Structure 1
């Protein structure tokens, strides 16, 4: 690892597995260890079961904006996007998509990127 020129000699020491930082002369040293990553395990049922992407009503976003987001994220035609938007507005939620979990997680993430309230649910 190579440090930017402004950091070299400024109390930053390098090693293979850790970086030691000191703020000033006489300051205590602390070592930042490599993080331990835990592998997420999922049961076969979690992976195989269909999952659904649910969007929830909020008082902030305009109906036209929500319709546009559904068109962009899911590729829905305007009429279908408007039907889902009205369902969210009238019933408080709408199931936008169902299928494999990884794709559903991606859709939820994309909807969050547009500041919409979306969740992932198992199909029961």
Structure 2
């Protein structure tokens, strides 16, 4: 949990008609954003090289890391590409799906909330 201090300002008048500013700190708890895994799912048609390319292009993985994740997708049925706040995860899923469709591959990509 993150704590952030905010300051409340109020204008007060005393009995002599003079104004003063009162400063009162307020503590507000800020919650970190919910995080989501972007996951690729195995299929029998998408070439392994295409999956590696996706991982390098959209998830900035080096060749070794991309090969490792591609093998997880191939052997375990799915692989985690990265963990992001919802908006970024959603955008990455959309980009991967669009690129896969444009290249006529049935590669499935989705997001899953991290507990």
Quickly name the TM-score band, shorter chain normalised.
0.5 to 0.7
Shift of 1:94: 0.6
CA RMSD of aligned residues (A): 1.8
State whether structure 2 residue 78 is matched by structure 1 residue 93. Answer: yes
4+ long deviations beyond 6 Å: none
Which structure 2 residue ranges, 5 or more long, are not aligned?
1-30, 101-106
Report the counterpart of residue 44 of structure 2 in structure 1. Answer: 59
TM-score normalised by structure 2 residue count:
0.64
TM-score normalised by structure 1 residue count:
0.60
Which structure 1 residue ranges, 5 or more long, are not aligned?
1-44
Counterparts of 1:122 and 1:78 in 2: how far apart (Å)?
27
Report the counterpart of residue 10 of structure 1 in structure 2. Answer: none
Report the counterpart of residue 18 of structure 2 in structure 1. Answer: none
Query: Across the two proteins, how many residue pairs are aligned to each other?
Result: 80
Higher strand share: 2
State whether structure 2 residue 76 is matched by structure 1 residue 117. Answer: no
